[in-house]
Amino acid sequence: MDVYQEAVGYLTSQHVPAAVQTETEVMEEDVFQEEADSCPLSPLHPQSVDFPDTPTLSSPEEMLERRLTVLKCIVESEEVYLRELEALLMPMKALRASAGTSKPVLSSQQVQTVFYQVPEISDMHQSFFSGLKERLNAHCRSEPGPGEDGQMSYTGFELVVGDLFLKMVNQLGLYGGFIGNYEEAVQVVRKCTQLDPRFRTLAQSMMSNIGSDKTRTKYTFEALLYKPLDRVTKTTLVLLDLLKTTPETHQDFALLQEALRLSRSFLSGVNESSQSKRGVTLSHGMRRKLMRDGFVVDASEGERHMRHLFLYTDLLLCTRFKHATRGKQDQYRFGWFLPLAGLKLRWVSDQHRPPDAQLRLHTIRTKMHLLRQQLRQHAQGSKGLAFAARSRKKLEQVELMLLTHSPVYTLELHSPSGKSHTLLLSSLYELEEWREAIHKLTTDNIETVPPDLLTLTSACVKLRMTQQPPLHSTNAGTTTISAPSPVRPRPLSSDSHPVSETQYTDSVEGEMCLCGTLSVAVHSACGLQQPASVYVCVEVDGYEFYDKQATTHSSIHSLNPHWDQELEFQVDAAQELRLLCVSQADGKNDTVLGKTSVKLESKTLNERWKRQTLHLGQVDVTVSLKFSPHPLEPPSATAPLHPVFCIPIEIVTQQEGVMVPHVVRCCAEEVERRGLAEVGIYRISGSSSDINTLKSVFNSNLRDAVTRLRRAEVNVVSGVLKLYFRELPEPLIPADKFQSLARSLEIQDVDSRLVSLFSVLHSCPAPNRNTFLFVLHHLQRVSERQDTNKMTLINLATIFGPSLLRLPVAELGHIGSSMDISVEVVLQVQVVFCYLQCNNLPEAQTSLPHDTDSEDETTHM
pLDDT bucket at 637, cuts 50 / 70 / 90: low
Mean pLDDT of 614-632: 92
pLDDT at 494: 30
pLDDT bucket at 493, cuts 50 / 70 / 90: very low
Question: Do the domain assignments include residue 12?
Answer: no
Contact 38, 406 (CB under 8 A): no
Q: At a CB cut-off of 8 Å and minimum separation 6, what does 321 contact?
A: 31, 295, 306, 307, 308, 330, 331, 332, 469
CA atoms within 13 A on the CB side of 257: 9
- In sequence order, what are the beta bridge partners of 577? 540, 598
pLDDT digits (tens, 9 = 90+) for 514-526: 899 999 999 999 9
Residues 194 and 332 in one domain: no
Please check the confidence at residue 679 and state whether its pLDDT lies above 80: yes
What is the average pLDDT value for the chain, to the nearest integer?
Answer: 79
pLDDT at 391: 81
pLDDT at 28: 28
Question: Do the domain assignments include residue 21?
Answer: no
Strands 290-298 and 215-219: unpaired
Residues 425 and 536 in one domain: no
Contact 833, 769 (CB under 8 A): no
Question: Do the domain assignments include residue 497?
Answer: no
The domain tally of the chain equals: 4
Mean pLDDT of 562-578: 92
E strand spans, 686-832: none
State percent of the chain over pLDDT 90: 39
Residues 211 and 316 in one domain: no
pLDDT bucket at 851, cuts 50 / 70 / 90: low
Residues 332 and 232 in one domain: no
Mean pLDDT of 229-234: 80
Mean pLDDT of 167-181: 88
Mean pLDDT of 808-837: 73
pLDDT digits (tens, 9 = 90+) for 572-585: 889 999 999 999 87
pLDDT at 342: 84
pLDDT at 52: 34
Q: What is the dihedral of CA 160, 164, 167, 170, to 10 degrees?
A: -100
Phi and psi torsions of 263, nearest 5°: -65, -45
Question: Do the domain assignments include residue 817?
Answer: yes
Residue 81 maps to which CATH number?
1.20.900.10
Higher confidence at residue 694 or residue 455? Answer: 694
Question: Do the domain assignments include residue 587?
Answer: yes
pLDDT at 695: 95
pLDDT digits (tens, 9 = 90+) for 463-490: 888 888 887 766 543 333 333 333 333 3
pLDDT bucket at 546, cuts 50 / 70 / 90: confident
291 SS3 class: strand
Distance of CA 669 to the CA centre of its chain: 29
Q: How far apart are CA 683 and CA 687, in angstroms?
A: 13
Quick one: which of 215, 218, 182 has its CA closest to 201? 218
Residue 569 maps to which CATH number?
2.60.40.150
pLDDT at 628: 92
Quick one: which of 180, 225, 258 has its CA closest to 89? 225
Residues 439 and 560 in one domain: no
Please check the confidence at residue 816 and state whether its pLDDT lies above 60: no
Max CA separation in the chain (angstroms):
117
Q: How far apart are CA 238 and CA 427, in angstroms?
A: 38
Contact 210, 142 (CB under 8 A): no
CA atoms within 13 A on the CB side of 140: 10
Contact 429, 255 (CB under 8 A): no
Contact 319, 310 (CB under 8 A): yes
Residues 749 and 776 in one domain: yes
Please check the confidence at residue 128 and state whether its pLDDT lies above 90: yes
The domain in which residue 310 lies consists of 285-482
Domain termination residue (choose one: 482, 498, 524): 482
Please check the confidence at residue 351 and state whether its pLDDT lies above 80: no
Please check the confidence at residue 185 and state whether its pLDDT lies above 50: yes
Quick one: which of 623, 598, 295 has its CA closest to 434? 295
Phi and psi torsions of 809, nearest 5°: -65, 130
Please check the confidence at residue 211 and state whether its pLDDT lies above 60: no
Write out the H or E segment, with its range, that includes residue 232: helix 221-232
Q: How far apart are CA 553 and CA 551, in angstroms?
A: 7
Please check the confidence at residue 3 and state whether its pLDDT lies above 50: no
pLDDT at 384: 63
- The gap between the terminal CA atoms of the chain, to the nearest Å, is 49
Quick one: which of 350, 312, 575 has its CA closest to 464? 312
State percent of the chain over pLDDT 70: 77
pLDDT digits (tens, 9 = 90+) for 16-69: 443 333 333 332 233 223 323 333 332 223 333 333 333 444 577 888 888 888
Please check the confidence at residue 15 and state whether its pLDDT lies above 70: no
- In sequence order, what are the beta bridge partners of 87? none
pLDDT at 597: 95
Please check the confidence at residue 376 and state whether its pLDDT lies above 60: yes
Question: Do the domain assignments include residue 34?
Answer: no
Higher confidence at residue 414 or residue 37? Answer: 414
Please check the confidence at residue 301 and state whether its pLDDT lies above 80: no
Contact 160, 247 (CB under 8 A): no
Residues 680 and 578 in one domain: no
CA angle 191, 88, 172 (to 5 degrees): 105
pLDDT bucket at 197, cuts 50 / 70 / 90: confident
pLDDT digits (tens, 9 = 90+) for 422-475: 999 999 999 999 999 999 888 767 777 777 777 788 888 888 888 888 877 665
Residues 139 and 203 in one domain: yes
Q: How far apart are CA 772 and CA 388, in angstroms?
A: 59
Residues 430 and 524 in one domain: no
E strand spans, 132-285: 206-210, 215-219
pLDDT at 142: 67
Residues 469 and 407 in one domain: yes
pLDDT at 218: 75
pLDDT bucket at 195, cuts 50 / 70 / 90: confident
Domain termination residue (choose one: 271, 294, 328): 271
Q: How far apart are CA 794 and CA 786, in angstroms?
A: 11
Write out the H or E segment, with its range, that includes residue 244: helix 235-244
Q: How far apart are CA 528 and CA 564, in angstroms?
A: 18
Quick one: which of 276, 81, 315, 96 has its CA closest to 186? 276
pLDDT bucket at 94, cuts 50 / 70 / 90: confident
Higher confidence at residue 845 or residue 491? Answer: 845
pLDDT at 316: 93
Domain termination residue (choose one: 271, 304, 338): 271
Q: Please give the C-alpha separations between residue 854 and each of 435, 610, 857, in angstroms, as whole numbers.
A: 41, 11, 6
Lowest mean pLDDT among 252-266, 531-545, 846-860: 846-860
pLDDT bucket at 683, cuts 50 / 70 / 90: very high
pLDDT at 11: 42
Strands 610-616 and 562-574: unpaired
Please check the confidence at residue 741 and state whether its pLDDT lies above 70: yes
Please check the confidence at residue 501 and state whether its pLDDT lies above 50: no
pLDDT digits (tens, 9 = 90+) for 98-119: 888 888 888 889 989 999 999 9
Mean pLDDT of 648-652: 95
CA angle 775, 776, 777 (to 5 degrees): 90
Mean pLDDT of 181-205: 84
Q: At a CB cut-off of 8 Å and minimum separation 6, what does 33 contact?
A: none
pLDDT at 777: 96
pTM over 0.75: no
Please check the confidence at residue 860 and state whether its pLDDT lies above 60: no
Residues 171 and 313 in one domain: no
pLDDT at 209: 58
161: left (phi over 0), alpha (psi -120 to 50) or beta: alpha
Which letter, b or e, does each residue of 439-466 get, where b requires 16 or more Cβ atoms within 10 Å of its Cβ?
eebbeebbbbbbbbbbebbbebeeebeb
Residue 418 maps to which CATH number?
2.30.29.30
Write out the H or E segment, with its range, that includes residue 537: strand 534-540
Residues 290 and 411 in one domain: yes
Higher confidence at residue 769 or residue 375? Answer: 769
Question: Do the domain assignments include residue 41?
Answer: no
Q: Would you say the C-alpha torsion 327, 328, 329, 335 has a positive or negative sign?
A: negative
Question: Do the domain assignments include residue 5?
Answer: no
- In sequence order, what are the beta bridge partners of 349? 409
Please check the confidence at residue 397 and state whether its pLDDT lies above 50: yes
